[in-house]
Amino acid sequence: MPSCSRHEYLTAVSARVTWHIPAPTIDLSAGLVPKSSVSAPIVIKPDAPKTAKTVVHHLRARWATDINTKEYGNLVCGHVEQGETVILLKDDSAFVQVKTSSGQVGWAGSGAFEVAD
């Protein structure tokens, strides 16, 4: 047992240990890229606007339902009567965003509507 403290002993032992960590190797066989061969960034221009017709889908209410604002949760912003035809704006599987004949826009359960087109 050495006559010094454990800390001093470990410090002295670690000072005698040689750590061999290999240096990373760099493969220079590919050569360096000269600055003159670096090209300017490629700019992709958007295509000309398409002139395709926008398809409007109409839905018919299977039963009377409320339409809600998605931003504020279940805040009712309108009502659709049974048999009323609305315009489909977005389809999110379980919910649809519709616009009524009076101009009200809101979300409702997709099960409350059927395709009218």
Per-residue pLDDT tens for 23-76?
Answer: 667 666 666 655 555 556 656 566 656 666 677 889 999 999 999 987 666 788
pLDDT tens digit sequence for 64-117:
999 998 766 678 889 999 999 999 999 888 889 999 999 999 999 999 999 987
* DSSP H helical ranges for the chain: 6-16
Question: Structurally, what CATH architecture does the domain formed by 57-115 represent?
Answer: Roll (2.30)
Verdict on whether the full-model pTM lies above 0.75: no
Tell me if residue 24 falls in helix, strand or coil.
Answer: coil
Instruction: Give residue 63's pLDDT.
Output: 95
Instruction: Give residue 46's pLDDT.
Output: 66
Instruction: Give residue 82's pLDDT.
Output: 95
The ranges assigned to domains in the chain are 57-115
Instruction: Give residue 49's pLDDT.
Output: 61
**Cβ neighbours of 99 (radius 10 Å):** 15
Instruction: Give residue 17's pLDDT.
Output: 61
CB 76 within 8 A of CB 66: yes
